[in-house]
């Protein structure tokens, strides 16, 4: 898989996501695509009150949405904006309570096949080395 490289620029991918998924920015944008690379993508989720749970921790569903989006962005970056990838499965392990800070999601694609793409995501609190949530996901890629 070492030959796989993104075919979309970060700017084009951001423009595509903003146009196709305006809902993710409702209430103020908190999800940002930081970087795309070979079989990888990094997303950031800003700290915002609507992601919180009692005790100042960030909600599980916010992290699940972040992981799903990071995987989706990584896949689209490599197959282009035409194809419509659909999430078929997601698995999450919640490891630590995230602090009241931004979250960084590092996504790595493990497989980019013709029909299925699989990747993993490690989510960190900004500035901390410990994984707070780890996810794996599978996306179905429609035939051209």
Binding site for a second copy (CB under 8 A): 1-2, 20-21, 23, 26-27, 49-50, 52-54, 59-61, 64-65, 68, 86-97, 110-111, 115-116, 118, 120, 129-131, 134, 136, 138, 140
Taking the complex as a whole, the smallest distance from the CB of residue 127 to a second copy amounts, in Å, to 14
Cα separation, 49 vs 53, in Å, equals 9
| Helical pair 60-79 and 10-20, crossing angle rounded to 10 deg | 120
Task: Specify the residue, 9 or 89, whose C-beta has the smaller distance to a second copy.
Answer: 89
Task: Specify the residue, 6 or 119, whose C-beta has the smaller distance to a second copy.
Answer: 119
Report yes or no: 135 and 92 within 8 Å, Cβ to Cβ: yes
User: Sign of the C-alpha dihedral, residues 82, 71, 106, 56?
Assistant: positive
Task: Specify the residue, 9 or 91, whose C-beta has the smaller distance to a second copy.
Answer: 91
């Amino acid at each position: 898989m070492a030959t796989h490289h993104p075919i979309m620029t970060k700017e084009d991918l951001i423009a595509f996501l903003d146009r196709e998924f305006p809902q993710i920015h409702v209430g103020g944008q908190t999800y940002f695509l930081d970087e795309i690379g070979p079989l990888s993508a990094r997303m950031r989720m800003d700290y915002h009150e609507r992601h919180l749970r009692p005790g100042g921790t960030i909600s599980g569903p916010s992290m699940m949405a972040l992981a799903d989006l990071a995987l989706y962005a990584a896949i689209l970056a490599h197959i282009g904006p035409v194809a419509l990838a659909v999430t078929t499965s997601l698995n999450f392990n919640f490891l630590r309570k995230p602090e009241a800070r931004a979250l960084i999601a590092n996504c790595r694609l493990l497989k980019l096949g013709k029909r299925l793409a699989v990747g993993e995501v490690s989510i960190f609190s900004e500035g901390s080395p410990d994984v707070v949530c780890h996810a794996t996901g599978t996306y179905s890629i429609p035939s051209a």
